[in-house]
Chains A and B, each alone.
Chain A
Amino acid sequence: MKRSLQSMTAIVAAMSALGAGAAAAQTAVADPAAPVEYEGTIKVLTKFGMQRLAPYFTELAQEYEAQHPGVTIELIQEDDDSVKGKTKTLVASNSIPDVFFSWTGTWGGNFIRGERAVDLTPVIGPDTEWGKTFAPAAVDAFVYDGKHYGIPLYLDAKFMGYSKPIFEKLGLSVPETLEDMLAACDTIKEAGITPISIGNKEPWVAVHYLGQLLAYNVPKDVLERDFDPATAEYADPGYVASLEQFKAIADRCTIGAGMNGISYQNALQELSDGKSAMYYQEIIEFDNSASAKTKLKPEEFGFFPLPAPKDAKGDPKALEGAPEGYMISSASENVPLALDFMKFVTSQANAKVLSAPPYGQPSAVIGGADPAQMSPAVVGGLEDIAEASYLMQWLDTVNHPRVAAAWLSNLQAFAGGSVTAEEVVAEVRAAAAAAK
């Protein structure tokens, strides 16, 4: 009996050793001179799972495979919601694909901290041939500790999209201040139309509103200090003020607490169907809100940045958004091939395809956005991004996961009316303290 117990322990120990054995790989640095071997399989995790976007990578993969018959590109296409959980599951099980999607900020930083991403400085850093093809701000968004880790694919920022016919019918003009917008909402409501459709079942929706409002109400240096759990204070009055402004928008412009039961996709559909006057969206959703197939036609679609409140203490020229891009896994067995595929994806010709409808993802490649082919709204949005004085990253990817989770769930409670603005800030502060 005793002996069998011993052997059991041995087996258990052996098995757990087996499990723990697969630790993270060492920091890998990309070698620009490495020859590309057109052999084998490259796995790519994208964020283009939506039916509308999926063909982009599918077609590129087919084209690339046709050019290089020895290569197979295996796509794992997720969407905005599922990519977060999927990425973490892949990391936890040590099976990160060769090429994977990443946001900037703390999200991307996790891969660098864990030495899971290849240092791309020699191939995409300043003064490299490839690096020069991108908008500098976009490449720089993926710099961590002075090294380049990301391949930016497109630029993104949040705007209020609106239906021009509804605004015209009610005699409304584009609001200059938050107060103007709230007044416009009252008018639209009286006409029996939902002013802003919003679906907060996926709780990042309200977090996006708040992110933009925080940029308006809280000074930039305070914000950036608070993003780091080690120095976070969350003492600025701008936090509560932003929450109160969100509350005002929720009360006067939307269905209110009911938003928590509606999916963001349904809310977007309401704008497309002409049932609501506005929907707060990313530039990469413009061609989804209004297309040849929707009731709201592209020429009827307008947009403006969420207007800043009159007495904003922060930066009224700031815009919420960030470039989004891809990293190369340090565990990849064929880094040169993975890079070659991404060079293909970010070629000027393919960038133009990405910027134009039906995709409408404004490319980060210089000259990759051809206004003649693109929706006018996307072109206009790009100009606004270029003029923005500060790009505020998404609250749920720039923060530590626990702080992000606190924002997400507490803001949902706030939208539902069960907690106060002060309580939300207190919870976030507590989460930051616990994450220290």
Chain B
Amino acid sequence: MSLSADIGKSGVALGGPALGAGRGPRLRPLLSRLLALRWIAVALVLVGWFVYYPIVDNFFVSTTNQDIFTGEVTQVGLDNYRRLAEDPVVGRALWNNGAYAVLSIVFQVFAAFCLAAIVEGLSSERWRNFWRALYFVPSAISTTVTGLLFYFIYQPDIGILDGLLKALNLEHWSHVWLGDPQTAIYAIIAMSQWQGFGYSTLLFTIAIQKIPQELYDAARMDGAGPLRQLWSITFPLTREMTGMMIIVTVTGAFQVFNEVMVMTGGGPNNSSQVLGTWLYEQGFNQNDMGYAAAIGSVVFAVTMLTGILQLWYTRRRRVLA
């Protein structure tokens, strides 16, 4: 695509007649080009100051030990990173974040894709809109609310999950879901899938709608059944969306905080700790800002990596302007 060239041209022309009427002809384009920065100045300052600068600063903090009570700061070099490598909870948290990512890909990307295909396969537009909107509802609600709600659902005394299992005669499955180190994190992940799949289903239905109908018509002429159409038309033509969704999901999985905080606070015995909650625990409960910053660096490394992957992926598929 030659979009970028177009923008350049129109942009230069745009600044031209409107600005700097009385100046010399050479100065004018440069001046107007600089003046164009005013469009983006606020965004640059905000993002630079509150998004980029703290992330740079985070690295400096991670090479210190700080006592929040005395305000004392000692330089410790890479000590916090060494501690990181030996901390079993960091390993546990990485595993939990990883499980979050993998299971979210399964449910929020692949299952959501299938669901979107089914919904889009309905012939009534009203029903298509209905299901799409219905499934989206949990995504609109705050994770605090859904986290608390599932905290109640998983409770052995008032929760409906164990009640349901009893009603189905599956009493031996009933369980203190959030109290068992083996199941706590998975119970949280399950809640997250319940909440998140509607959002990706919605995005997939949008992507599917963009596929020209003629392709399906032609496939049907060739005698392809619905599954065949799904596999050879819908799936390849929404690949870009799938790729984006995988990356968004993975990045999101490494930033999880709210639901874990609300449902277990990282327990029992740190078994459901994720990087975000462990950072909070270290920094704000154990008075160890330097170490918390080092944990932050791990989050940074992982999200950066997926970010670069995302860039590489989109670059490969289409030229960015």
A interface, CB within 8 angstroms of B: 12, 15-16, 19-20, 22-24, 84-85, 88-89, 91-92, 110-111, 113-116, 200-203, 257-262, 266, 270, 401-402, 405, 409-410, 412-413, 415-416, 418
Q: Kindly state the separation between the CA atoms of A409 and B267 in the bound complex, as whole angstroms.
A: 8
B294 to chain A, nearest CB (A): 15
Asked, given contacts A88-B285, A203-B267, A260-B267, whether A114 binds B178 with beta carbons under 8 Å apart, the answer is no
Asked, given contacts A201-B264, A410-B269, A412-B267, whether A114 binds B179 with beta carbons under 8 Å apart, the answer is no
Interface residues of B in 252-292 (CB under 8 A from A): 264-265, 267-270, 281, 283-289
Q: What is the interface size of chain B, counting residues whose CB is below 8 A from a CB of the partner?
A: 36
B238: interface (CB < 8 Å): no
Q: Which residue of B lies closest to A435 (CB)?
A: B286
A-B contact count (CB 8 A): 112
B263 to chain A, nearest CB (A): 10
CB atoms of A23 and B71 under 8 A apart: yes
Taking chain B's interface residues, is the majority helix, strand, or loop, or is none over half, making it mixed?
Answer: loop
Q: Can you give 24 A-B contacts (C-beta < 8 A)?
A: A15-B53, A84-B285, A85-B285, A88-B287, A89-B284, A110-B69, A111-B69, A113-B69, A201-B267, A203-B268, A258-B156, A258-B180, A260-B176, A260-B180, A260-B269, A261-B154, A261-B268, A266-B155, A266-B157, A401-B286, A409-B269, A412-B267, A413-B268, A416-B179
Q: Which residue of B lies closest to A24 (CB)?
A: B71
Q: Kindly state the separation between the CA atoms of A36 and B181 in the bound complex, as whole angstroms.
A: 55
B67: interface (CB < 8 Å): yes
CB atoms of A114 and B67 under 8 A apart: yes
Asked, given contacts A260-B267, A266-B155, A266-B157, whether A413 binds B68 with beta carbons under 8 Å apart, the answer is no
CB atoms of A261 and B287 under 8 A apart: no
CB atoms of B178 and A261 under 8 A apart: yes
CB atoms of A257 and B176 under 8 A apart: yes
Q: Kindly state the separation between the CA atoms of A200 and B56 in the bound complex, as whole angstroms.
A: 39
Q: In the A-B complex, list the 9 residue pairs whose CB atoms are closest, starting with the nearest.
A: A261-B179, A114-B69, A413-B269, A261-B176, A260-B179, A260-B268, A258-B176, A114-B70, A23-B71
Q: Which residue of B lies closest to A275 (CB)?
A: B157
CB atoms of A85 and B268 under 8 A apart: no
Sample of 19 more A-B contacts, CB < 8 Å, known A113-B70, A261-B154: A15-B53, A84-B285, A92-B289, A114-B70, A200-B179, A201-B268, A257-B176, A257-B180, A258-B176, A260-B179, A260-B267, A261-B155, A261-B179, A266-B158, A405-B286, A409-B270, A413-B181, A416-B180, A418-B269
B270 to chain A, nearest CB (A): 5
Q: Which residue of A lies closest to B73 (CB)?
A: A20
Interface residues of B in 171-203 (CB under 8 A from A): 176-181, 184
B125: interface (CB < 8 Å): no
B60: interface (CB < 8 Å): yes
CB atoms of A259 and B57 under 8 A apart: no
Q: Kindly state the separation between the CA atoms of A111 and B67 in the bound complex, as whole angstroms.
A: 11
CB atoms of A92 and B68 under 8 A apart: yes
Q: Kindly state the separation between the CA atoms of A412 and B283 in the bound complex, as whole angstroms.
A: 21
A430 to chain B, nearest CB (A): 11
Residues of B within 8 A of A261 (CB): 154-156, 176-180, 184, 268
CB atoms of A16 and B69 under 8 A apart: no
Residues of A within 8 A of B177 (CB): 261
Residues of A within 8 A of B288 (CB): 401-402
Residues of A within 8 A of B267 (CB): 201, 203, 260, 409, 412
Residues of B within 8 A of A23 (CB): 71
Q: Which residue of A lies closest to B285 (CB)?
A: A85
Q: Kindly state the separation between the CA atoms of A277 and B305 in the bound complex, as whole angstroms.
A: 55
Q: Kindly state the separation between the CA atoms of A258 and B154 in the bound complex, as whole angstroms.
A: 12
Asked, given contacts A111-B69, A114-B71, A413-B268, whether A201 binds B179 with beta carbons under 8 Å apart, the answer is yes
Q: Which residue of A lies closest to B151 (CB)?
A: A263
Residues of B within 8 A of A260 (CB): 176, 179-181, 267-269
Mask: chain B, 43-58; 1 = CB below 8 Å from A; 0 = not:
0000000000100110
CB atoms of B155 and A262 under 8 A apart: yes
**Residue in B177, B179, B270, B289 whose Cβ sees the most chain A Cβ within 10 Å:** B179
Q: Which residue of B lies closest to A404 (CB)?
A: B286
Of B69, B71, B181, B287, which contacts A416 at CB under 8 A? B181
CB atoms of B179 and A88 under 8 A apart: no
